[in-house]
Structure 1
Amino acid sequence: MERIALISDVHGNLTALEAVLADIDARGITRILNLGDYVGKGPRGREVIEICRERCEVNILGNWDDFLPDPARTFDSEGLAWWLAQLGDGQGDWLRSLPFCHDLLVSGRRVRLFHASATSVHRRVRFDHDEAEFLGMFANTPATGDGPVPDVVGYGDTHDPFYEVSGDNLTLFNTGSVGNSMNDPTPVYVILEGVIGSEAAAPFSVQFVRVPYDVEAEIAAATRLGMPELDGYVSELRDGVYRGAMHDPHRRTYHRLPR
């Protein structure tokens, strides 16, 4: 049996990332896979990229990693321009070159990991999806390639962790977010346990881990660096209230809102 840590959606929150990595290290887990969205929302995307390049065995493309450093795009948003300028030399190119997905065998199960959906990093599938959306997560597409169809799919993007089994022994889970967790703002990651690389059936588990961290230290860092959209970041980190809903008490449920 071996354990792999799956992290996602750090979003420039270095303080949360360091706390999660410390928890992973304390458990003796040495393999870490990252499901994307290293940058944006938080102030230290450059540092997050540096650490993830060093610590993560696999790094996968996220939607922010694709659109923020896109040379064909221009931004009139102060926040987007600031987060882009915060990146180090070559980091934007590195982000946009990341693979779309990663496949592996665990205890006889074919596991596929990607950021948001089987078709695009920009197509969102929430926990309240319909059956067609559920089944579509297991399909081969031009984005995933034509490898063996997975039995298990893990993804991030929605900042809203869940675990679901349906269909013909199909398992879908969402890792939640390390750096920008909604509703419950405590960072969350997943431990995948089983016999890695084995085609034979064996015990298999998906464990969700919440890791408390120093929220005020992260807010202080964002303040010190002069990050725009600070009020929205504070709302998300302290209360788990999405920045687009922080002034509207009737729209506080994150999973019903756009990004």
Structure 2
Amino acid sequence: MRIAAVSDIHGNLPALEAVAADIARRGVDRVVNLGDSLSGPLLARDTARFLMAQDWLQLAGNHERQILYPHQRTASDVHAHAQLGDAELAWLATLQPSLRLNPEVLLCHGTPRSDHEYFLETVEPGGVRLATAAEIEARMAGAEAALIVCGHTHVPRAVRTAAGCLIVNPGSVGLQAYDDDHLHYHVMQNGSTDARYAIVERSAQGWSAALLAVPYDWQAMATLAARNGRPDWAHAIATGYAKPSRQ
């Protein structure tokens, strides 16, 4: 079984189209989208319509929840919501934050217990660090799986637990850096403009993962973000680095 996993598109349709084309040429059995698909100052409506036309298995991220509930919206969610019509909002409302693909594969946006929790990283007052084995185990919340695929952090990683579960984050299709105040101020960044996704594959030896980087024409999206009043997004899209709001 070969599964392509995408996540954190954030309305960046050109990046999504480049990833979809790369997936098509590689050949997979299933495509899964782990959420945070639309939020941001880019192309929420067009991205939603592209995704609605696919036969992919799709999840809700924390930003899908926030788009649907006015009191939870950030500026990025407000911008996306303003582009969406009844059909797109109804589609968002059908999506779940986690589900089982089959008995051995669990999909989630953040962790099995939360759509807003980092799985493989830990946020502390001084920033962000790699999660310990004990922290990862706690965040699994007792889930039994040979493979867990998650998103949310925008950082591509693959970790195998002591019990043999492979946890894979494909990274972000559409936004390669950001800063955030959730829990404590921190920065997440990849240092590259490439769109990210992963292919996970089961063989006789178990599950393995390939973390992939796909180039695309990012200039138009950086220009659009700047035009829509988000120089932080423009910088992240154009460089792969966050422009910190705190020094």
Q: Could you say which TM-score interval applies, normalised by the shorter chain?
A: 0.7 to 0.9
Q: How many residues align?
A: 226
State yes or no: 1:138 paired with 2:133.
no
TM-align CA RMSD: 2.4
Distance across 1 between alignment mates of 2:61 and 2:138: 19
The CA deviation at 1:80 is: 3.9
Distance across 1 between alignment mates of 2:171 and 2:120: 11
> What runs of 5+ residues in structure 2 fail to find an aligned partner?
122-129, 177-188
Query: What SS does structure 1 have at the residue aligned with 2:19?
Result: helix
Query: What SS does structure 1 have at the residue aligned with 2:104?
Result: strand
2:216 — aligned with what?
213
2:125 — aligned with what?
none
Read off the aligned partner of 1:124 and give its amino acid letter: Y
Distance across 2 between alignment mates of 1:202 and 1:97: 36
Distance across 1 between alignment mates of 2:69 and 2:135: 28
State yes or no: 1:121 paired with 2:118.
no
1:69 — aligned with what?
68
- Consecutive aligned runs of 4 or more in structure 1 exceeding 3 Å deviation: 77-80, 201-204, 220-223
Distance 1:41 1:213, change over 3 A: same
Distance across 2 between alignment mates of 1:74 and 1:34: 22
**What is the TM-score normalised by the length of structure 2?**
0.81
State yes or no: 1:158 paired with 2:153.
yes
1:241 — aligned with what?
241
When structure 1 is superposed on structure 2, of 206-215 and 169-178 the one drifting more is 169-178
Distance 1:29 1:170, change over 3 A: closer
State yes or no: 1:193 paired with 2:192.
no
Distance across 2 between alignment mates of 1:30 and 1:134: 28
CA contact (8 A) 1:61 1:98 kept: yes
Query: What SS does structure 1 have at the residue aligned with 2:201?
Result: strand
1:227 — aligned with what?
228
> What runs of 5+ residues in structure 1 fail to find an aligned partner?
141-147, 196-200, 249-259
CA contact (8 A) 1:65 1:92 kept: no
Q: Which has the larger radius of gyration?
A: 1
